[in-house]
Structure 1
Amino acid sequence: MIVKLGYVAMSVELQHASPSQTMTFAQFSKIKDREAAIRKLERIAESNLENCLRLLKHNVGNDIEFFRFSSRLIPLANHEELGDWNYIKPLKEVLGKIAEFLKGHSMRVDFHPDHFVVLNTLDKEILKNSLKTLSMHEALLRGMEVNPEHRCVLHVGGGYDDKEKALEQFIHNWGYIKPGIQKMIMLENDDTTFTVKETLYLCEKLGIPMVFDYHHHLANHEEGDWVSDWDRIVSSWDHSDLPIKMHISSPRSENEFRAHADYVDPEMFLTFLHEVKGSVPELHCMIEAKQKDGALFQLVRDLKERDSLEWLDQTNFVVD
């Protein structure tokens, strides 16, 4: 089984390469000339995307073939006071540069939109804003000439004191979502509300790939071992062109179990890998640790002390 490691959004190794520079609406409002304020927003977004390109080059130099883009690339993109702003148009050139780069290098890229994207809400305004945010992600992917299918991972949403009803509300709202947005979505078990089995219920009913988060499962499970559900998780990817993906992180401490640690515990990760080895030809593992690519490089150093792994290059390996 080939294992490819990825990391989230930004680098602790590269200086001055943040893809999440921002501007608040209060700052925007202080600029008297609205057109000048919009130009400033566009310059920030362009700088964020230029930094994404720097990060992609950094990844290639380190054989990292899996990367999650920041969802904060375009500040105020969906603000109600900026509904007339066509933010993609001025970014076509820099998006085109990313597209060219990705064409020349094998790299899986995706997004994890922020927690306010909730698809099982009863509030029509929240659903509308969630779909606007997902449309922005779709536009960015298309600008990068990346097929948007299965490129946005989401949590199921709120439990609203009745999880069964909340799951059915997700199915109800799904009918209002255009097929292009539906195809972008993957669902992940979360650390407080929806367990592996509950997330799988939706994934199987609606044909959505499931992203297994190992740390979340340890923090939130009502139904025992995840291993018995692994084949179902794998099967949820049958209709996807992409290899199965999972999330790996470690608890910060026993008292702050849900919080992500700076680094990944290699023993915890190896425990997972040895359970699933041989079940799939390729597995992509997204590291959700505070030290970003620093956590990836540290995990590689820790794993290289183990003789049982065959390394393909600097960061990708085979588990026999």
Structure 2
Amino acid sequence: MIVNFGYVAMSEILSNASPSQTMTAQQFAKISNKDAGLKRLERIAIHNIENCLRLLKHNNAHDICFFRFSSRLIPLVNHPLTEGWKYERPLIPLLREVGEYVSSHNMRVGFHPDHFVVLNNSDDEILNRSLQTLLYHYKLLKAMNIDPTHRCVLHIGGKKEGKVQGLEAFIENFSNIPSSLSKMIILENDDTVYNLEDALYLGEKLGIPVVLDLHHHDVNYGECHLIELWPRIIKTWEGSPLPVKIHISSPKSSPEDKRHHDYINKDRLLQFLEMARGSSKSIDVMIEAKKKDKALFKLMEELKLEKGCEFISQATIQFNRT
């Protein structure tokens, strides 16, 4: 089984390479000329995207072909203060350059919009804001000339009216949103409300791939063991152009701690890989550790000492442990 490792959004090694620099709404409101304010936002966005390209080149130097983009590449998108801003137009050449780099180096990239993107809410205003955020991610991917299919990880949402009602509201709303946006979505189990069985209920019913978050499962599990659920997860990816994907992080202190550690507990990862061995030709593993690429490099050094981990590249292994 081939296992590719990636990390999230920012580097702990590269200096001055943040792809998430921003301007607050308060700062923007103080600029008397709106056009001048939008130009300043445009300059920030260009700087963020240039840094994103730097990160991709850093990743390529270390054979990392799996990466999550920051959702904050363009500040104050869809804010009432920037209403009518055609933010993508001046950025298309640079975004196209990013997409060409991704394609030419065969990288898998995607997004994980913030938790306020909620598709199971009955409030039309909240749902519309969520769809506008998804449209923003769609525009970024299209400008990069990257197929948006299954590039956005979402949580199921809240349970204001109860968990069962939340699941049914997701089904109703998902069925009514534009297919261009619904095709982007993959679902992840969360650490508090909707466990892996809930995500699979929706994934199987609606044809959405399910991303296993191993840490979330460990702190918020249902009635079934992971070994029973894993084949069902694999099956949700059968119609996807992308390989099966999981998220890993480690608790900061006790096993029940929902907070993320700086680094990854390799033993828990190896335990999962032993369970999953032979179930799929490849798995892409997104590291959600506080130390980002440092955590990835540390994990790779630790795996070099483990039997059954044959290194194909600096960030990809063939797992053969029996």
Q: What's the counterpart of residue 318 of structure 2?
A: 318
Name the CA distance, whole Å, in 2 between partners of 1:13 and 1:62.
12
Alignment of 1:123-142 (within 5 A): 123-142=123-142
Q: What's the counterpart of residue 261 of structure 1?
A: 261
Question: Per-residue displacement from partner, 1:240-271 (whole Å, max 9, x unpaired)?
Answer: 01000000000001187100000000001100
Matched, 1:95 2:79: no
Q: What's the counterpart of residue 61 of structure 2?
A: 61
Name the CA distance, whole Å, in 1 between partners of 2:246 and 2:257.
19
Q: Aligned partner of 2:136: which letter?
A: M
Identity of aligned residues (%): 52
Alignment of 1:74-223 (within 5 A): 74-223=74-223
Q: Aligned partner of 1:4: which letter?
A: N
Q: Aligned partner of 2:17: which letter?
A: A
Matched, 1:294 2:290: no
- Kindly report the root-mean-square deviation, in angstroms, between the aligned alpha carbons of the 2 structures: 1.0
Aligned partner of residue 7 in structure 1, secondary structure:
strand
Name the CA distance, whole Å, in 1 between partners of 2:118 and 2:292.
25
Name the CA distance, whole Å, in 2 between partners of 1:38 and 1:315.
39
Q: Aligned partner of 1:246: which letter?
A: I
Q: Aligned partner of 1:61: which letter?
A: A
Alignment of 1:220-299 (within 5 A): 220-254=220-254, 257-299=257-299
Question: Per-residue displacement from partner, 1:198-246 (whole Å, max 9, x unpaired)?
Answer: 1100000100000000000011013141110111000000110100000
What TM-score, normalized by structure 1, do the two folds share? 0.98
Name the CA distance, whole Å, in 2 between partners of 1:71 and 1:262.
21
Q: Aligned partner of 1:23: which letter?
A: M
Name the CA distance, whole Å, in 2 between partners of 1:268 and 1:175.
37
Q: Which stretch shifts more, 302-311 or 13-22?
A: 302-311
Name the CA distance, whole Å, in 1 between partners of 2:196 and 2:256.
21
Name the CA distance, whole Å, in 2 between partners of 1:15 and 1:40.
23
Name the CA distance, whole Å, in 1 between partners of 2:151 and 2:92.
20
Name the CA distance, whole Å, in 2 between partners of 1:227 and 1:153.
23
Name the CA distance, whole Å, in 1 between partners of 2:255 and 2:102.
41
Aligned partner of residue 247 in structure 2, secondary structure:
strand
Name the CA distance, whole Å, in 2 between partners of 1:225 and 1:237.
20
Question: Per-residue displacement from partner, 1:83-141 (whole Å, max 9, x unpaired)?
Answer: 21000001012112112212311100000000000000111101000000000000000
Name the CA distance, whole Å, in 2 between partners of 1:277 and 1:160.
39
Q: Which runs of 4+ in 1 moved over 4 A?
A: none
Q: Which runs of 5+ in 1 are unaligned?
A: none
Aligned partner of residue 208 in structure 2, secondary structure:
coil
Q: Aligned partner of 1:76: which letter?
A: L
Name the CA distance, whole Å, in 2 between partners of 1:255 and 1:267.
13
Question: Per-residue displacement from partner, 1:32-60 (whole Å, max 9, x unpaired)?
Answer: 11111100000001100000000000000
Name the CA distance, whole Å, in 1 between partners of 2:203 and 2:100.
33
Name the CA distance, whole Å, in 1 between partners of 2:239 and 2:255.
40
Question: Per-residue displacement from partner, 1:165-208 (whole Å, max 9, x unpaired)?
Answer: 11001011112200010000000000000011111000001000
Q: Which stretch shifts more, 159-168 or 296-305?
A: 159-168
Q: Which stretch shifts more, 258-267 or 154-163?
A: 154-163
Does the Cα contact within 8 Å between 2:6 and 2:284 map onto a contact in 1? yes
Aligned partner of residue 3 in structure 1, secondary structure:
strand
Name the CA distance, whole Å, in 1 between partners of 2:93 and 2:175.
35
Does the Cα contact within 8 Å between 2:29 and 2:81 map onto a contact in 1? no
What TM-score, normalized by structure 2, do the two folds share? 0.98
Name the CA distance, whole Å, in 2 between partners of 1:188 and 1:155.
5
Matched, 1:309 2:309: yes
Name the CA distance, whole Å, in 2 between partners of 1:226 and 1:157.
22
